């Protein structure tokens, strides 16, 4: 039987892309496939989110011609060399990291995306699919919808929440500092609590968001940023950077999207949200419900599962025929 190995960094910081690798392995194993997360360091496993995912270690696996190795985009132009032999799938969760580590020499044409061992690429947004299909039109690029878990990220009505503004500063901390200070000196943050989210477990993030009215998004560029989706699921009003990949859900009907770097535009959007909560709370509650309904529909656990299984059914069928014909 084909083995599916998902190569994963040995990093126990809260990184959404790693959690997604684990989740893909879980979905596959529950549905009749043989899959495992692969770490370098023996005994390593991510612990910042709950999991019982099958984990293997690099020195113990030896992919053959019928196995598939899934490699994240972060490993640069020679990522196809990480596991010699076997077929490879690039799991590109942020198209804007595709060329990290590439040379600017015009004659240097090394790229994993044209390596014969790479049979397909998975992405997590339409923006990333458009990006990679434009750059490498010959590629098979398949979009998988990420999921959000409403059992973990529970919705709460705005009227029962704290007057709290949550945000993450992993990216564009300088922008966040400018924006929050401008809001402070304009008097917009009076009677509001600020809640920076940093180094928290998944359950701790969920608890913060469940009790928060407003989430500010500073991520850019992103493949399909998860924190704003999780915030919407919890009933937060979300303003800020859509990160490119988030344009598909950062809709003006129920959120306040801002182009990256537009500091004053970000401040104005945030002030509009804060005024709305005080002046038209019923209208803002309707928007919070609309956002939740949208992300529940578009990023459901069932849709993610169906996308994952469809990709692997199609890929293994196609490559199985190739392998059989090569063997003959």
Backbone angles phi, psi at 278, to 5 degrees: -80, -35
CATH H-level, domain 158-298: superfamily: Glycogen Phosphorylase B; (3.40.50.2000)
Backbone angles phi, psi at 166, to 5 degrees: -105, 155
256 token code pair: 């306040």
Asked whether the predicted pLDDT for residue 285 surpasses 80, the reply is yes
Asked whether the predicted pLDDT for residue 325 surpasses 80, the reply is no
pLDDT at 318: 87
The strand pairing partners of 194, in sequence order, are 165
Asked whether the predicted pLDDT for residue 5 surpasses 50, the reply is yes
**Where do the structural domains in the chain lie, given as residue ranges?**
3-147+301-327, 158-298
Q: Of 181, 186, 247, which is closest to residue 217 (Cα–Cα)?
A: 247
- Quick one: pLDDT band at residue 328, thresholds 50, 70, 90? very low
> What is 3-147+301-327's CATH number, 3.40.50.2000, 3.60.15.10, 2.60.120.1600, 3.10.20.30?
3.40.50.2000
Rounded CA separation 224/94 (Å): 7
* CATH topology match: 3-147+301-327 vs 158-298: yes
- Distance (Å) of CA 142 to CA 85, 129, 183, 198, 239: 23, 7, 41, 32, 29
Model pTM? 0.92
Asked whether the predicted pLDDT for residue 323 surpasses 60, the reply is no
Rounded CA separation 229/196 (Å): 17
pLDDT at 275: 98
Alpha carbon distance, N-terminus to C-terminus of the chain: 18
């Amino acid at each position: 039987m084909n083995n599916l190995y998902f190569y994963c960094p040995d990093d126990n910081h809260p990184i959404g892309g790693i959690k997604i690798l684990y989740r893909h392995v879980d979905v596959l194993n529950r549905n009749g496939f043989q899959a495992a997360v692969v770490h370098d360091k023996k005994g390593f496993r991510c612990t910042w989110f709950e999991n019982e995912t099958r984990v293997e270690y690099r020195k113990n696996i030896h992919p053959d011609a019928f196995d598939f190795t899934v490699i994240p985009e972060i490993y640069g132009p020679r990522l196809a060399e990480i596991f010699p032999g076997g077929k490879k799938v690039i799991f590109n969760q942020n198209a804007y990291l595709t060329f990290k580590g590439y040379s600017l020499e015009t004659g240097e044409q090394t790229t994993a995306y044209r390596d014969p061992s790479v049979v397909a690429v998975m992405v997590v947004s339409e923006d990333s699919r458009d990006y990679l299909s434009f750059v490498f039109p010959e590629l098979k690029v398949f979009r998988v919808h990420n999921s959000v878990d409403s059992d973990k990220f529970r919705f709460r009505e705005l009227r029962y929440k704290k007057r709290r503004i949550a945000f993450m500063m992993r990216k564009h901390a300088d922008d966040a500092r400018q924006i929050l200070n401008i809001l402070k000196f304009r008097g917009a943050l009076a009677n509001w609590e600020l809640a920076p989210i940093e180094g928290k477990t998944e359950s701790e993030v969920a608890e913060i968001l469940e009790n928060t009215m407003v989430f500010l998004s500073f991520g850019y560029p992103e493949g399909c940023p998860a924190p704003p989706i999780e915030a919407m699921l919890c009933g937060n009003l979300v303003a800020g950077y859509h990160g490119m990949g988030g344009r598909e859900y950062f809709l003006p009907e129920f959120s306040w999207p801002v182009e990256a770097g537009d500091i004053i535009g970000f401040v104005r959007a945030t002030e509009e949200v804060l005024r709305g909560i005080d002046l038209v709370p019923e209208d803002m509650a309707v928007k919070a419900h609309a956002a939740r309904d949208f992300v529940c529909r578009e990023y459901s656990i069932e849709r993610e599962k169906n996308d994952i299984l469809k990709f692997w059914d199609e890929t293994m069928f196609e490559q199985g025929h190739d392998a059989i014909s090569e063997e003959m």
